[in-house]
Structure 1
């Protein structure tokens, strides 16, 4: 197991991940950090609220992407989502659930 330090919304988090998953986790953390920064002044939010809002924004984007009709590219077939896309969706859903649990436990 590898340990990583992630920066999200100006705060540091140390997390554990499977060996070889560091780049993927870093990419996901960058997405969450972007949403945390969009939430406004991170200093004005508790850690749990910042993560909750970030997860909700990502979940909203995911919901909208799943609800939108598929727009196949002109030169592509109508193949199903790639395994990587499915992994990202699953990871975002898991992150949203964990963040909501954290926010609930802190309130």
Structure 2
């Protein structure tokens, strides 16, 4: 028998941003981030490897010394320890996967 699906609340880590854990296990976590146009994902780093899929919207990403723009259907990987953040150019949603999971999001 499988365990019931856990529902996580949406929280606002910053102005114009909503975060919701979609699924988690010790080895992997899937998280939705909804951004309003102009919202900022603050520069930060963490030991987790992160993959990002752009479901909708347009974003300018900052990854270490690199800057690039992404839109619907784009995806990329952020290595462990890399300093990164983004600016939302057009409202939308990002889906991030982290390995291992981010216990600070629970």
- Structure-2-length-normalised TM-score: 0.27
- Structure with the greater alpha carbon radius of gyration: 1
Could you say which structure has the higher helix fraction?
Answer: 1
Greater relative contact order (Cα < 8 A, sep 6+): 2
